[in-house]
Amino acid sequence: MNQHAPTESLRASTDPGHGSGAPDLCEHGAPVRGQPQISNRRLFVQLHVFTGCLDTTAVVGAVRRSGLDGAVYVNLNDPRGVGVLVMSEEPSVFATEARELLVRSPFSELTPLPDFTMLGRTYASGREADLEDFLLRKVPRNVLRPTNTWAVWYPLRRTGAFNKLPRAEQGKILMEHGMLGRRYGEAGYAADVRLECHGLDRDDNEFVIGLIGSELVPLSKLVKDMRSTRQTSEFIQAMGPFFVGRVLFQSPIPGDAHSD
Whether 214 contacts 149, CB under 8 Å: yes
- Answer whether residue 186 shows pLDDT above 50: yes
**Structural domain range at position 228:** 147-243
CA distance 1 to 90: 11
In this structure, what CATH number is given to the domain that contains residue 233? 3.30.70.1030
* Residue 244 parent element (H or E): strand 243-250
Strands 82-88 and 191-196: unpaired
Contacts of 118 (CB under 8 A, 6+ apart): 45, 46, 47, 153, 154, 155, 197, 201, 208, 243
pTM: 0.88
Q: Per the domain annotation, does 219 fall within a domain?
A: yes
What does the pLDDT look like over 7-50, one tens digit per residue?
Answer: 333 433 444 445 668 999 999 999 999 999 999 999 999 999 99
Q: How far is CA 35 from CA 10, 28, 99, 129, 133, in A?
A: 19, 11, 40, 12, 17
CA distance 28 to 36: 8
Q: Per the domain annotation, does 97 fall within a domain?
A: no
Specify which of 175-179, 181-185, 195-199 reaches the highest per-range mean pLDDT: 195-199
What's the domain count of the chain? Answer: 1
3-state secondary structure of 113: coil
Q: pLDDT value at position 13?
A: 42
- The stretch 247-251 carries a mean pLDDT of 98
Q: Per the domain annotation, does 55 fall within a domain?
A: no
- Answer whether residue 2 shows pLDDT above 50: no
What does the pLDDT look like over 51-107, one tens digit per residue?
Answer: 999 999 999 999 999 999 999 999 999 999 999 999 999 999 999 999 999 999 999
